[in-house]
Structure 1
Amino acid sequence: MSHAEILIAAQPAPPQTARKLSKARIAGYFFLGLWAVLGISLLAMIVFGWDLDKVVTYGPRLRNGLWITVKLVTISFVLGAILSLPLAFARMSSNKILSTLTYCYVYLFRGTPLLAQIFMVYYGFPSFRWFFEDIGMWWFFKDPFYCGVFAMTLNTAAYQAEIVRAAIQSVPKGQSEAANALGFHTWIAFRKIIIPQALIVALRPYGNEIILLIKSSATVSIITVYDLMGETRYAFSRTYDYQIYLWAAIFYLVIVEFMRNGWAWMEGRLTRHLKR
């Protein structure tokens, strides 16, 4: 066998990665073309079938509903983020009772539908009206908006607690050991070393959670909250025109795309040192 034949025989078989990438690229182009066709069809339907009278009549109501949706999601997400921190630390606690109770809370709210949780708050808590009147909280639980905020806060707090816990536990223990060896106080090491690294890991799941919360917020319309979906249902009940739901879908799409791109920009800014 010649030297050239030996070299050819010693070369590894061509990898299948390029072939797989080619198939994935073809599939990507196919779905991109499909979405382009659907988008053009949707645009043509909007341009040629748009009812300006309905836009003028119900546009302000949808705008107000959009503002209610943004407010509902923002308040719920922020309160859920605050509540998720002690929940995450309780989940990681060495106290078995505390960690078990927190696990049951997270399991319950992650394992049941948000709609069922909203119904439990809105229709279940009035059974204890006498108790809430005694403690001066009935004004809160008799308002559908506050009931929606309460249920969504508890729901997203369970998801965010798991995001925080997983992000903190993903940081290698050697980071804490090195900080202790250098004489850092435990709290300073946690705030300056552990949290910044955990935040980078948690960014993407946090973005996914807020997008899911935006889409899930439509369920509060069932309890007479006039958010974007609530106003859409009201307009449809007066017109029986499917375009009303099309407008709502466009509004939700714009919100989600705005959040997705904004979160991607923030993630890029916070992780720019990793790309150098």
Structure 2
Amino acid sequence: MSYAEVLIPARPAPPETMKRLSKARLAGYFFLALWALLGIALITMMITNWDNAKFFKFGPRFLHGLWITVKLVGLSFILGAILSIPLAFARMSKNRILKGLTYCYVYLFRGTPLLAQIFMVYYGFPQARGFIDSIGLWWFFRDPFNCGLFAMTLNTAAYQTEIVRGAIQSVHHGQSEAAASLGLHKLVTFYKIILPQALIVALRPYGNEIILLIKSSATVSIITVYDLMGETRYAFSQTYDYQTYLWAAIFYLSIVELMRNGWAHIEAYLTRHLRR
């Protein structure tokens, strides 16, 4: 205990604050119990209505759909991350035209639903097939998977652009001034000083973006991509059994929990020096 803590004891929380905390805690326990009861009810329904024939028939298809979902999310996130870096610099540019165009791109893709963007790519690009074929890209856009990948990449790139921009701008300008006083080049300053600090700030938003991307990826099943949700729709069309969607929900929940806990461990490892 420090000298200041001995002289100035901690003040007890006001009664109003304690009442609000107690009410919030009780509400949290209530909703936690409600979710637990719902989970128990769903598990009980699955056990009582379990059908081994359906499980062994559609299980491999679900695993294949899970692989397509993981591949789609992974590729779109990586490509979006690569695209977001130059876009973030364009958003911070002093050139009004470049800054305005980038702002319009980010505003458009963050302000419209992902489903509408997927439809625009899947149904809109074939209207210009002659032009797309003339530049040698029709082989790419005739595949529904590639259309979904293209739309999701542009969508997540818009969100990641704002994440990167906010993270870079959160680093105090004194860091750049100190590096300049030492005669460091601007590129060295960015990669060695600014970027590592910005990435620490961006870790949590990046984790949230991956989780949102996993859940949003279910929309590509509308354009005949047999991802996890696409295989679920196929299984339901063959059986009319609600359990197929319950299986899909369990798969999505498992992916999100694995990603959430894995990202938390990565964040804890990369920020371990801040807790010393």
Once residues 44 and 235 of structure 1 are traced to their aligned partners in structure 2, the CA distance between those partners, rounded to angstroms, is 21
1:27-38 mapped onto 2 (5 Å cutoff) = 27-38=27-38
Q: Which residue of 2 aligns with 1:99?
A: 99
Cα deviation per residue 1:132-173 (whole Å; 9 max; x = unaligned)? 211111110000000000000000000000000000001111
Q: Which residue of 1 aligns with 2:250?
A: 250
Regions of 4+ moved over 4 Å: none
Q: Which residue of 1 aligns with 2:163?
A: 163
| Residues 1:219 and 2:213 aligned together | no
Once residues 171 and 271 of structure 1 are traced to their aligned partners in structure 2, the CA distance between those partners, rounded to angstroms, is 16
Per-residue deviation at 1:106? 0.4
Q: Which residue of 2 aligns with 1:109?
A: 109
TM-score of the pair, normalised by structure 1: 0.93
Label 1:44 to 1:135 Cα distance change in 2 as closer, same or farther (>3 A): same
Label 1:104 to 1:25 Cα distance change in 2 as closer, same or farther (>3 A): same
Q: Which residue of 2 aligns with 1:260?
A: 260
Q: For structure 1, which segment, 39-48 or 244-253, has the greater mean C-alpha deviation from structure 2 after superposition?
A: 39-48
Q: Which residue of 2 aligns with 1:231?
A: 231
Once residues 40 and 133 of structure 2 are traced to their aligned partners in structure 1, the CA distance between those partners, rounded to angstroms, is 55
| Residues 1:79 and 2:79 aligned together | yes
Q: Which residue of 2 aligns with 1:8?
A: none
Once residues 175 and 164 of structure 1 are traced to their aligned partners in structure 2, the CA distance between those partners, rounded to angstroms, is 17
Per-residue deviation at 1:273? 1.3
Q: For structure 1, which segment, 15-24 or 120-129, has the greater mean C-alpha deviation from structure 2 after superposition?
A: 15-24
Once residues 230 and 145 of structure 1 are traced to their aligned partners in structure 2, the CA distance between those partners, rounded to angstroms, is 12
Corresponding pairs, count: 266
1:17-56 mapped onto 2 (5 Å cutoff) = 17-56=17-56
Percentage of pairs with the same residue:
76
Cα deviation per residue 1:173-227 (whole Å; 9 max; x = unaligned)? 1111111122222111111111111111101110010100000000000000000
Give the partner amino acid of 2:118: I
Q: Which residue of 1 aligns with 2:202?
A: 202
Q: Which residue of 2 aligns with 1:139?
A: 139
Label 1:14 to 1:222 Cα distance change in 2 as closer, same or farther (>3 A): closer
Per-residue deviation at 1:103? 0.3
Give the partner amino acid of 2:127: S
Per-residue deviation at 1:14? 3.2
Per-residue deviation at 1:15? 5.8
Cα deviation per residue 1:225-257 (whole Å; 9 max; x = unaligned)? 000011111110111110000000000000011
Q: Which residue of 1 aligns with 2:6?
A: none
Q: Which has the larger radius of gyration?
A: 1
| Structure 1 residues not aligned, in runs of 5+ | 1-10
Once residues 45 and 99 of structure 1 are traced to their aligned partners in structure 2, the CA distance between those partners, rounded to angstroms, is 55
Once residues 191 and 273 of structure 2 are traced to their aligned partners in structure 1, the CA distance between those partners, rounded to angstroms, is 19
Give the partner amino acid of 2:55: V
Give the partner amino acid of 2:167: A
Give the partner amino acid of 1:259: M
Label 1:211 to 1:184 Cα distance change in 2 as closer, same or farther (>3 A): same
Once residues 126 and 262 of structure 2 are traced to their aligned partners in structure 1, the CA distance between those partners, rounded to angstroms, is 40
| Structure 2 residues not aligned, in runs of 5+ | 1-10
Once residues 149 and 190 of structure 1 are traced to their aligned partners in structure 2, the CA distance between those partners, rounded to angstroms, is 30
Per-residue deviation at 1:92? 0.3
Once residues 232 and 164 of structure 2 are traced to their aligned partners in structure 1, the CA distance between those partners, rounded to angstroms, is 35
- Secondary structure of 1:183's counterpart equals coil
Per-residue deviation at 1:13? 8.3
Once residues 88 and 210 of structure 1 are traced to their aligned partners in structure 2, the CA distance between those partners, rounded to angstroms, is 18
